[in-house]
Amino acid sequence: MVTIQADEISNIIRERIEQYNREVKFVNTGTVLQVGDGIARIHGLDEVMAGELVEFQEGTIDVALNLESTNVGAVLMGDGLLIQKGNSVKATEKIAQILVIEAYLGRVINALAKPIDGRGEILSSEYRLIELPAPGLFLDVNNVFQSILTRKCFPSGHSSHSLPANEFV
């Protein structure tokens, strides 16, 4: 008959507690509802951002662009032949970016900026978002304080009448 000692059990429990990994990682996942015309409709990616890269279970990476209340529309950057209804998708928490370097000049790349011309990888440490806000205009423009009388007529837009320029401005 086997006897179990209390101190042996407590030592085993202590070892297991010390080896326990307490790290919890939240992964935003979803399921493919429909695929067609270069778009995958995904249910369940509630925390995804516009322009965020999403990874399908077969490893393809695409961009989530159309965020609706019940589903997300992801633009397929590859052929999408392996993506099927019911496949799982996870958010990567990375907004679509591109390397910024002159080595891209003269190279052939795919939609995700990966080289496809067989001349090796493009390496750089500087990335830039694909969709940046437009730069502001730095023009020194004064407001119009005086109208110019040209005697040209312009349609007013509210009726078929035309107004002389001095009445229009």
pLDDT on residue 151: 67
> Which residue, among 62, 39, 66, 35, has the nearest Cα to 50 in the 3D structure?
66
More confident residue, 69 or 23: 69
> Sign of dihedral through CA atoms 18, 19, 20, 24?
positive
pTM: predicted TM-score of the whole model, two decimal places: 0.60
Residue pair 153/164 in contact (Cβ under 8 Å)? The answer is yes
CB–CB of 131/114 below 8 Å? no
Tens digits of per-residue pLDDT, 38-53? 999 999 998 999 999 9
- Among left, alpha and beta (phi > 0; psi -120 to 50; other), residue 131 is beta
Name the residue with higher pLDDT: 64 or 110: 64
- Boundaries of CATH 2.40.30.20 in the chain? 29-95
How confident is the model over 115-146, as pLDDT tens digits? Answer: 899 999 888 788 888 887 777 776 666 777 77
CATH of domain 29-95: 2.40.30.20
Per 3-state DSSP, the chain is made up of helix, strand and coil in percentages (nearest 5) of: 10, 30, 55
